[in-house]
Structure 1
Amino acid sequence: MKRLSRVTVGAVTAGFALLVVAGGATAWLVARVADNTELVSHSLRVELALSHFRTLSEQAETARRGFLLEPDLRFVRTIEGIARDMGPALEELRSMVRDNPEQTTLVGQLAAANREHMILIRRSMAQRRAAALPNAVPFSWDRTTQLIQTVRQLAVSLSDAERTLLNERIERQRASQRVTYSVIALAALLLILVAAGTIWVTRRTLLALHRTGDELARLNDDLEGAVRARTVDLQRANDEIQRFAYIVSHDLRSPLVNVMGFTSEMEATIRPLSELVDRAEEGGLAVSQDAKLAVREDLPEAIGFIRASTQKMDRLINAILRLSREGRRILAPEPIDMTVLLSGIVGSSQHKLQDLGGEVRVSPLPSLVSDRVGLEQIFSNLIENALKYRTPDRAPVVEVRGWLEGERAVFEVTDNGRGIDPKDHDRIFDLFRRSGAQDQPGEGIGLAHVRAMVYRLGGLISCQSALDAGATFRLSMRADLSDEGARAP
């Protein structure tokens, strides 16, 4: 057993070490993805700023030509407004390409061409206002026409350079995302392997305990010393299992929280990228179909799958922790009026019963000397399950009966619900196992917890049922746990 424990602890420790490494790698990769996303966003902002400047330049030329054809003051106001906007637009563009000498030179040339363009616009409009130009203006001979073509060519050159950068950055981002997904998948696989190894070791330990119990049963009654020694060994092994299950389940949460946190980081990173793609499309920029699918469908879907898996793993770990804590809780036997106890449980469910139009009938029940918390958990679970797995075409009715048989108390909880297939009567008490249609929330923990608690109270539980014919859960437990009642029957 000690050798197995050392091997197990070594394997689990190695698994957690690998998970820590995978978590660190994931954090680094998420940071890389965030950096690449910021660069892609920067390129898109440059494209938008350039597009805005080109629009202002084209609007100015259009207003000029309109004024030359019809000297309306509205054209003058339009050009003055455009002139006020061009300065900030150029400054914004210059600040965004400051780290790129080639683009900085192009922006300088663009500013010079735009400055000359605006001077000629005002000059031609002044000549037209003074009637120095004819009504029919030959625009093709005008110097401003050449300047607007220069502005367009410079803008295209800037746009081509930025799109080249954008394509490179998008490719780097995709590569980082692919590596990130691979690392996350590896971390999930390691987590599953560690959990599977823990379950396998626990199963082997439980089998060893069963063999030890059989051996104790075969000992001679006169070998009291040997019996006491075996009992001590058995208790020590059981405590080791409880501690092991608690430690492993507790430590599994740390890497799981990391994965959930990194998933949230990735999800937060996608939102601004998606908004930028939307704005780019609204601005008339070409965005590849692959990029749109990656931002709007592929990445959110992958993150959704990761989040659902981690949430399920979190629920399973919590269940193992809860069962482990319950197994280590010290029982506190006390006199209990079972009729009063069941009335309290029914009272707490009264609101739900009224909504469903159902009822819980409690016959007079025998009193026990047992653990109140354990009994409340057992009967609350059974009544809650009866209401949860009801049949839609009839109101739920639950009956609780009980009587004494010698030193034991027998209870039956009967419902008129959907019933349980006979082949599943045993498996429904297994941890994480469920029966029938999976149309109700749950992880298959409740009945496993009930059976574990019934065992601790010195009892057994069984099920009798058929499909669409309701179910009866029968419990047989010690009526008095004040002395040796906590031992198994």
Structure 2
Amino acid sequence: MDQQEAISERRFARRVLLMMVAGFAALLLAGVAAALVLLRTQEQTQWVNHSFDVERQIARIRLSVEEMRTARRGEVLRIRVAPSASYAAAAARLDREIDFAAHLTADNPRQQGNIAELRRLADHMDSLFKRSLRPGQRGSAADEAERQAAAQAVVKRADRMLDAERLLFEERDGDRRESTEILYGVLALAAILVIVTGIGSLTIVRRYTRTLVASRNALAELNDNLEDAVAERTVDLQRANDEIQRFAYIVSHDLRSPLVNVMGFTAELDASIKPMRALLDQVDAQAPAIDTGEARQAVDEDLPEAIGFIRTSTQKMDRLINAILRLSREGRRTISPERVDMDALVHGIVDGLRHRIDELGVTVEVAPDLPDVVSDRLAIEQILSNLIENAVKYLKPGRPGLIRITGQAKHGRAMIDVVDNGRGIEKRDHDRIFDLFRRSGVQDQQGEGIGLAHVRALAYRLGGTIGVESEFGEGSTFTLNIPVIFVSDRGPRP
């Protein structure tokens, strides 16, 4: 009997051992497959990033065309500028940008064809512009129309390249998502294999106490090593984040100095219009035959238009720099947890927007008993202010506005919903609206696409998330999910 039990036990042990070997072999294969899929995903991600680089380069080409047009107009008006802002410098920049775009798209025959046509159109535009800069050259309205048409042709060809690259981006991004889904499938299979292997291991542990002790010791050692690795990685990530914040601050600060100079010179140009106009009035009064009308048009129309364009662009850049600085400062600000009365905070935000709310006839409903939290008051106020202000700003035309703020606490998390019946957001934009400088829908409201990116950054710093559910034309629901009690390095402060 004992011999039969021994034989049965050995058979059982062999079966369990075979099952474990098979499980580990399958797990190894799944790991290899996951690694291969991951390498493929990384390669596809690089191609997606490459498409982004090409799109940015095309945008630089368009900017160079505008710089050429501005520089040509400045030289026609005899405006003295720095050598780097001359027409020759602008034309050279356009050539360099086209050459770099050709380098980036060397793998794309279709884009190479577009590059060749773009280069031809740019050369034609350059020849027309240079002709207008020759001494004594006085172009007619037809000549100016031809120059503008040449410049527009370059821009249209750049737009065609951009459309082609976006189609290629969508295809590459689709491949990347498909690979990611495959990776998730492989990981799920690996998880199943781990579970099966674990069951077999538990069966062996029941029969062999020594194996149990050894497994526990090995597991404890693995956990210790894992905690050390996680702690080390957390420190590395924090250091990298701090470096990014410092870099953003330095870049934004360095950009402000030349921008201030541009603003100052723009103001001087604007102030010079008045004496020039007075001089032309004197010429018209004393020697009207001298005035051909071109100088009057330049002073009354062309120069103010150019100054207005420069002022608008510098103001926009100033707003962007201020936003980047604000994001950098917010990222470096120390989180200070304190008890926050959410009812009082939300009502305070609504009261602050009361004038605009009453002006538009919006109904705002705040649910009673919003969950109080222990977190950073300023960050939460900034998040909810942005969400409520967006709900007031993006109403559905022809439909009375309705905004509801609700909340609940569950499993140690506080969830605050800002619900509106406004324009809604298309599904493809649900993720993009949280990216920096990205906006969705009709651009009929002021903004630079920074608010929701700031909201997401603040939510992450509070240990939470921000999400959106929306149907286009029906309204949106933004959900802030944060811990009820935020634990900092110094602990919560009730």
TM normalised by structure 1 equals: 0.55
Code of the residue aligned with 1:271 in structure 2: it is K
Pick one of 239, 252, 263 that aligns with 1:260: 263
Code of the residue aligned with 2:239 in structure 1: it is R
Residues 359, 378 of structure 1: alpha-carbon distance in 2 compared, 3 angstrom cutoff: same
Q: Name the SS for the 2:297 alignment partner.
A: helix
- TM-aligned CA deviation for residue 182 of structure 1: 2.2
Residue 293 (structure 2) pairs with residue 289 (structure 1):
yes
Contact 2:83/2:89 (<8 A) preserved: no
Per-residue CA deviations over 1:407-437 (Å, capped at 9, x if unaligned) read 1111211001111111111111111111111
Correspondence for 1:480: 485
- TM-aligned CA deviation for residue 300 of structure 1: 1.8
Pick one of 459, 465, 468 that aligns with 2:464: 459
Correspondence for 1:406: 411
Code of the residue aligned with 1:376 in structure 2: it is E
Residues 178, 387 of structure 1: alpha-carbon distance in 2 compared, 3 angstrom cutoff: same
Correspondence for 1:247: 250
- TM-aligned CA deviation for residue 230 of structure 1: 2.5
- Structure 2, gaps ≥5 residues long: 1-73, 98-220
Correspondence for 1:374: 379
Aligned counterparts, 1:190-229, within 5 A: 221-223=223-225, 224-229=227-232
Residues 227, 421 of structure 1: alpha-carbon distance in 2 compared, 3 angstrom cutoff: closer
- TM-aligned CA deviation for residue 271 of structure 1: 2.0
Correspondence for 1:345: 349
CA distance in 2, matches of 1:315, 1:410: 32
Aligned counterparts, 1:53-452, within 5 A: 174=78, 176=80, 182=86, 221-223=223-225, 224-285=227-288, 286-363=290-367, 364-452=369-457
Contact 1:397/1:416 (<8 A) preserved: yes
- TM-aligned CA deviation for residue 293 of structure 1: 2.4
Contact 1:454/1:461 (<8 A) preserved: yes
Aligned counterparts, 1:28-67, within 5 A: none
Contact 1:256/1:310 (<8 A) preserved: yes
Contact 1:338/1:365 (<8 A) preserved: yes
* Greater Cα radius of gyration, structure 1 or 2: 1
- TM-aligned CA deviation for residue 262 of structure 1: 1.1
Q: Name the SS for the 1:222 alignment partner.
A: helix
Q: Name the SS for the 1:330 alignment partner.
A: coil
Q: Name the SS for the 1:271 alignment partner.
A: helix
The CA RMSD over aligned residues, in Å, is 3.1
Residues 371, 173 of structure 1: alpha-carbon distance in 2 compared, 3 angstrom cutoff: closer
CA distance in 1, matches of 2:325, 2:88: 25
Residues 455, 485 of structure 1: alpha-carbon distance in 2 compared, 3 angstrom cutoff: farther
CA distance in 2, matches of 1:220, 1:307: 62
CA distance in 2, matches of 1:415, 1:486: 36
CA distance in 2, matches of 1:342, 1:454: 17
- Structure 1, gaps ≥5 residues long: 1-32, 34-170, 194-218
Count of residue correspondences:
291
- TM-aligned CA deviation for residue 368 of structure 1: 0.8
Code of the residue aligned with 1:432 in structure 2: it is F
Code of the residue aligned with 2:281 in structure 1: it is D
Per-residue CA deviations over 1:148-197 (Å, capped at 9, x if unaligned) read xxxxxxxxxxxxxxxxxxxxxxx9972736969528986xx89xx9xxxx
Code of the residue aligned with 1:306 in structure 2: it is I
Per-residue CA deviations over 1:320-359 (Å, capped at 9, x if unaligned) read 0000000011011111121121111122222222222222
Contact 1:418/1:468 (<8 A) preserved: yes
Residues 248, 175 of structure 1: alpha-carbon distance in 2 compared, 3 angstrom cutoff: closer
Per-residue CA deviations over 1:265-323 (Å, capped at 9, x if unaligned) read 12222221122112311334221233222222222222221111111111110010000
Code of the residue aligned with 1:257 in structure 2: it is V
CA distance in 1, matches of 2:484, 2:418: 17
Comparing 174-183 and 319-328, the one that deviates more: 174-183
Correspondence for 2:54: none
Residues 483, 249 of structure 1: alpha-carbon distance in 2 compared, 3 angstrom cutoff: closer
Residues 220, 448 of structure 1: alpha-carbon distance in 2 compared, 3 angstrom cutoff: farther
CA distance in 2, matches of 1:368, 1:321: 28
- TM-aligned CA deviation for residue 254 of structure 1: 0.5
Residues 272, 300 of structure 1: alpha-carbon distance in 2 compared, 3 angstrom cutoff: same
Q: Name the SS for the 1:410 alignment partner.
A: strand
Q: Name the SS for the 1:288 alignment partner.
A: coil
Residues 226, 380 of structure 1: alpha-carbon distance in 2 compared, 3 angstrom cutoff: same
Question: Percent same amino acid among aligned pairs?
Answer: 57
Residues 288, 485 of structure 1: alpha-carbon distance in 2 compared, 3 angstrom cutoff: farther
Contact 1:416/1:469 (<8 A) preserved: yes
CA distance in 1, matches of 2:302, 2:85: 12
Residues 430, 232 of structure 1: alpha-carbon distance in 2 compared, 3 angstrom cutoff: same
CA distance in 2, matches of 1:356, 1:468: 18
Contact 2:342/2:373 (<8 A) preserved: yes
Residues 470, 269 of structure 1: alpha-carbon distance in 2 compared, 3 angstrom cutoff: same
Correspondence for 1:123: none
Aligned counterparts, 1:6-25, within 5 A: none
Contact 1:246/1:320 (<8 A) preserved: yes
TM normalised by structure 2 equals: 0.54
Q: Name the SS for the 2:379 alignment partner.
A: helix
Contact 2:366/2:404 (<8 A) preserved: yes
Code of the residue aligned with 1:317 in structure 2: it is I
Contact 1:402/1:412 (<8 A) preserved: yes
Q: Name the SS for the 2:312 alignment partner.
A: helix
Per-residue CA deviations over 1:414-467 (Å, capped at 9, x if unaligned) read 001111111111111111111111111111111111111111111111111122
